[in-house]
A and B are shown apart, each in its own frame.
Chain A
Amino acid sequence: MWTRRKEEEPAGGRTASPLPTATELSREGIPISTAPTRVAEPGGGAAAVGKSVVVKGQIFSREDLYVDGEVEGTIEVQEHRLTVGPNGKVHANVKAKEIIVQGTVHGNMEAGEKIEIRKEAKIVGDLRTARIAIEDGAYFKGSIDVIRAEASKAAPAPAQPVRPAATAPAASSAARPEPTKVAAAGAETKT
């Protein structure tokens, strides 16, 4: 078995940045409770925590990670994508280049590039990201900070609002029907 697996590895095509071994991690004082397995289907070849797997501790990954099980602790997938599958239940603070959530996340999330919240997602936590895409039907409770790369270069004048239709993902900016009712506002009263 072991010999055969070694022979198969080069054909896998994703061995350039292997995950740290348990020995390496334990040398760094990083607790692990299970090693991620590799699946082909939902994660597109990413390392995966399957739906019957429970991980308590810290996960560091140097490749895309698909979590469809339960994780409690922290997840860092620097420079790669983390996908929380529909069965995934994450109670952890998460850092990744890109985060896609279909399942449940309780914890803060920080993405260098983008966070996608799919319609089945349930998220409680604070988000910090450069871009965010939200599908109708998702549940979110927490704060959203959108970090704009040009913010530091821009003049201090306030940003002009951009019509959401221009920036929103297809999920929520789908074709809108023509106006059915337009309420013209009149004079105000009271102070």
Chain B
Amino acid sequence: MTKEVVVKKSHGLAQFVATIRDEAGLTILDLGGISQENVSFLTSFGHRLYSEDLLRTLDSFTAEEDPPGGPTQRAQIEAFLVQCFDFAAGALDGVLAWDTLQYLSRPVLLATIERLYEILRPGAHMFTLFHTAERPQEVPLYSYRIGDAETLYLVPRGRRLAVQQFNNRGIERLFERFSAVKFFLTRDNLREVIVKR
């Protein structure tokens, strides 16, 4: 079976890139795991790239008795946060979260958003995607590869249960501590969101 790569024009990505391209030496966190494309693209600006495979780490923390999307015990969640987000406050100049947030259970999600708020520099941006599923259901899981400033290659990685569903209002509430949330309408089933710390 061949993997069918989806090519997606992304105005959200273009806007995110616009926030990081004018200054070298920034610190960017990519939560989608490592890929040659993203490393080449982001380091071409002279940035330091941190790579974290959030879902893989989540799965390593998720016990059989845990609900989908990760553990609910506070200690486990804290350990997960330390594993994924071991950064000083304000250390990050940008985060590429892709669609990973949608796969986190509510307690893990809220703790993750809180931690992201802490480690992002004020004024820094995060790019994230949300599937438009209206109820918990399996959605295509992708590896997001940056082709250029406004092109994404979505490389299939199977399917995964999207535990969280949000409408635009829900997304705004999720990031209510942040200073701005900007939505980009798309013709596919992925909403693009830029969040400003």
A-side residues, CB < 8 A to B, are 117, 132-136, 138-146, 148, 151, 158-165, 167-169, 171-173, 176-177, 179-191
Contacts and interface: CB of A to CB of B under 8 A. Distances in A.
B7 A180 contact: yes
A117 to B, nearest CB: 8
B183 interface: yes
Which one of A117, A133, A180, A181 has the greatest number of beta carbons of chain B within 10 Å? A181
B7 A146 contact: no
B9 A158 contact: no
User: 6 closest Cβ contacts across the A-B interface?
Assistant: A185-B11, A172-B36, A186-B185, A164-B37, A179-B7, A183-B188
B133 interface: no
Interface of B: 2, 4-12, 17, 21-24, 27, 33-41, 43-46, 48-53, 56-57, 145-149, 153, 155, 168, 172, 180-188, 190, 192
Given A161-B21, A180-B7, 8 more contacts: A145-B48, A164-B146, A173-B37, A181-B8, A182-B7, A183-B186, A183-B187, A191-B181
Contacts, number: 147
Contacts of B192: 185
Contact of A144 (B9, B39, B155, B182): B39
Nearest to B29: A143
Q: For the complex, would chain B's binding face be called helix, strand, loop or mixed by DSSP majority?
A: mixed
Nearest to B30: A144
B181 A190 contact: yes
B145 A158 contact: no
Nearest to A166: B40
B8 to A, nearest CB: 5
A171 B181 CA distance: 37
A145 B46 CA distance: 8
A158 B45 contact: yes
Contact of A188 (B4, B52, B172, B185): B185
Nearest to B149: A161
